[in-house]
Chains A and B, each alone.
Chain A
Amino acid sequence: MWHDATLVAAKDLRIEVRSRVAVNQVAPFAIAVLLLFGFALGPDRRTLEPASAGLFWVAVLLSTILAIQRSYSVEASDGARDGLRLSGLDPAGIFLGKAAAVVAELLALEVLLTAGIALLYGAHLSGWGVLVLTCVSATVGLAAVGTLYGVVASGLKTRETLLPLLFLPVVAPVLLAATKAFDAALAGTPSRGLGWLEVLVVFAVLYVALGIVAFGPLLEDG
């Protein structure tokens, strides 16, 4: 399973490196979201700065949807999805691989967005340990749910509208917990974020486990 996961992750990342869709489209989208929040709530930093954590994570959530759709659209053409199914790769491995690739892309995006909120909203970056741990655990949870729902929505005519409807409500607790953890870190009291980190880790473990088990049957229905 791990071997297959590495193969799939490497494939997805290689496609990304060559096509640069995440770099050219998802990242600018995320920056645009930050800017638009500025338009909606700013320009007073006294409004924006306390909201930095929440706005950061909303931007990440929306970008995750794009990343997941991208992850599946690379297989949508030329029957590549059937190829994946029949390739003999362990479905759990396919799940982990695709999710891992999405995690990698999103983590890179989050680095960019962290710089973004510091610059645009005046967020004071501190509590780096908690910031990093929050990013990792939240992103794993997001990628797990997204990859699982993504396989259901992919190949359907309604996928563009179905995926956000399915995905966003389920990851609401990730948004809440990640925002609170970030808030604690940015306010200089990172230890207050540890409880929220636990929530994120539980969520991530739960949905990675569910994905490993449930992905195979869903892949069959393509």
Chain B
Amino acid sequence: MRAPPALGAGSDLATLTRRLAHLAGARRAGDMALRLLGVAALTGVVATVWLGLFVTPPDEFMGNLVRLLYVHPPMAWVAFLAYGVSALSSLAYLWPRTRSLSFDRLAGASAEVGVVFTALTLVSGSIWGRPTWGAWWVWDPLLTTTALLFVLYLGYLAIRKVPGTPEARARRSAVAALVAFLDVPIVYFSVEWWRSLHQPPTVLNPTTHKTYVHGSMAWTLLLGFVSFTLVYLWLMAHRYRLAKLNELEESEGLEVALAERRAEAVAG
């Protein structure tokens, strides 16, 4: 590694940024921003966990179980945020004026990160549900819609793996995304109506996720939402870069194969 250049009088902001970035071991300024994002996300999560587990008081009704409510709703929020990003990116890809493979990459990255958060939403919801409602699973509208979202994500990821040219794959995936993701509101309202017909609201109704949060609990919950959103963004950025690298690798492989073929043709 080259020795970092000495800071002298007359450095302007751009040079200063570059030198700081170099000191941080980053290869370019974008890397440093990503690193900062990662640090911020990690700090937020650690703070949330510390506040959630140790600083905040137990709830009047739920006792210590309320601590799960600092992490479970953020999981659900990110799951649906990721789904929204995927759907909108797919739309952007299909719209002629904004057709660019970067939107397809974005949609795919968001889906992969999204499926992780969706699984975590289901698991954390289940863990919270067992002591609260006595069951590992209830058919409440939000949980049911999330379970279906999970399977829809899996189908979408499966379709992305189907071989083809990048454009064909992007088109196919974008249409699949639209079909699947347009479904989610329909699913949510259908299930909500279905459940409301069968269950009059009661205090212990599983469909009521509401609980009154105040003071330190409210701040912790907010911090949870913010931190995990930062985690999502950080993961997305890396997943996007991975997708770009994979595409480069693929097109390189193609170029190498073509060059070999040409060499054969010349030699033969």
Bound CA–CA A98/B150 (angstroms): 30
Which B residue's beta carbon lies closest to that of A148?
B179
Q: In this complex, which of A169, A177, A203, A207 has the most chain B Cβ atoms within 10 angstroms of its Cβ?
A: A169
Q: Would you give the shortest CB distance from B11 to chain A, in whole angstroms?
A: 53
Q: Would you give the shortest CB distance from A140 to chain B, in whole angstroms?
A: 15
CB under 8 Å from chain B, chain A span 208-222: 210, 214, 217-218, 220-221
* CB-based contact A169/B180 at 8 Å: yes
Q: Would you give the shortest CB distance from B144 to chain A, in whole angstroms?
A: 9
Q: Write the A152-179 contact mask toward B (1 if CB under 8 angstroms, else 0).
A: 1000101000100110011011001100
The listed residue (B154, B159, B187) touching A173 by CB distance below 8 A is B187
Using A169-B152, A169-B155, A172-B148 as known contacts, say yes or no to A199 and B175 having CB atoms under 8 A apart: no
* CB-based contact A170/B183 at 8 Å: yes
Contacts of B189 in A (CB 8 A): 199
Bound CA–CA A195/B172 (angstroms): 33
| A121 in contact (CB, < 8 A) | no
Contacts of A145 in B (CB 8 A): 179
| B191 in contact (CB, < 8 A) | yes
Interface residues on B, range: 20 to 34
Which B residue's beta carbon lies closest to that of A214?
B175
| B19 in contact (CB, < 8 A) | no
Which B residue's beta carbon lies closest to that of A176?
B190
Chain B, interface SS category: helix
Contacts of A148 in B (CB 8 A): 175, 179
* CB-based contact A169/B176 at 8 Å: no
| B242 in contact (CB, < 8 A) | no
Which A residue's beta carbon lies closest to that of B169?
A221
* CB-based contact B186/A203 at 8 Å: yes
Bound CA–CA A162/B156 (angstroms): 10
Contacts of B182 in A (CB 8 A): 206, 210
| A180 in contact (CB, < 8 A) | yes
Q: Write the B156-195 contact mask toward A (1 if CB under 8 angstroms, else 0).
A: 0011001010001001100110111011001101110110
Bound CA–CA A37/B70 (angstroms): 43
CB under 8 Å from chain A, chain B span 209-238: none
Q: Write the A170-206 contact mask toward B (1 if CB under 8 angstroms, else 0).
A: 1011001100100000000000000100010011001
* CB-based contact A158/B162 at 8 Å: yes
| A56 in contact (CB, < 8 A) | no
* CB-based contact B191/A176 at 8 Å: yes
Q: Write the A5-23 contact mask toward B (1 if CB under 8 angstroms, else 0).
A: 0000000000000000000
Q: In this complex, which of B158, B179, B183, B187 has the most chain A Cβ atoms within 10 angstroms of its Cβ?
A: B179
Contacts of B151 in A (CB 8 A): 165, 169
Q: Would you give the shortest CB distance from A161 to chain B, in whole angstroms?
A: 9
Bound CA–CA A169/B151 (angstroms): 7
Bound CA–CA A172/B190 (angstroms): 10
Bound CA–CA A156/B260 (angstroms): 28
* CB-based contact B179/A170 at 8 Å: yes
Q: Write the B45-79 contact mask toward A (1 if CB under 8 angstroms, else 0).
A: 00000000000000000000000000000000000
* CB-based contact A165/B158 at 8 Å: yes
The listed residue (B155, B172, B179) touching A207 by CB distance below 8 A is B179
CB under 8 Å from chain A, chain B span 70-99: none
Q: Would you give the shortest CB distance from A192 to chain B, in whole angstroms?
A: 9
The listed residue (A180, A203, A210, A217) touching B194 by CB distance below 8 A is A180
Contacts of A173 in B (CB 8 A): 183, 186-187, 190-191
CB under 8 Å from chain A, chain B span 89-127: none
Contacts of B191 in A (CB 8 A): 173, 176
Residue pairs across A and B with Cβ atoms less than 8 A apart, 10 shown, are A152-B162, A152-B176, A158-B158, A165-B154, A166-B159, A173-B183, A173-B186, A176-B191, A180-B194, A214-B179
Measured CB to CB, the residues of A under 8 A from B are: 145, 148-149, 152, 156, 158, 162, 165-166, 169-170, 172-173, 176-177, 180, 195, 199, 202-203, 206-207, 210, 214, 217-218, 220-221
Given A166-B179, A199-B189, A214-B179: 15 more A-B contacts, CB < 8 Å: A148-B175, A148-B179, A152-B159, A156-B162, A158-B158, A162-B159, A170-B183, A173-B191, A177-B190, A203-B186, A207-B179, A210-B178, A220-B168, A221-B168, A221-B172
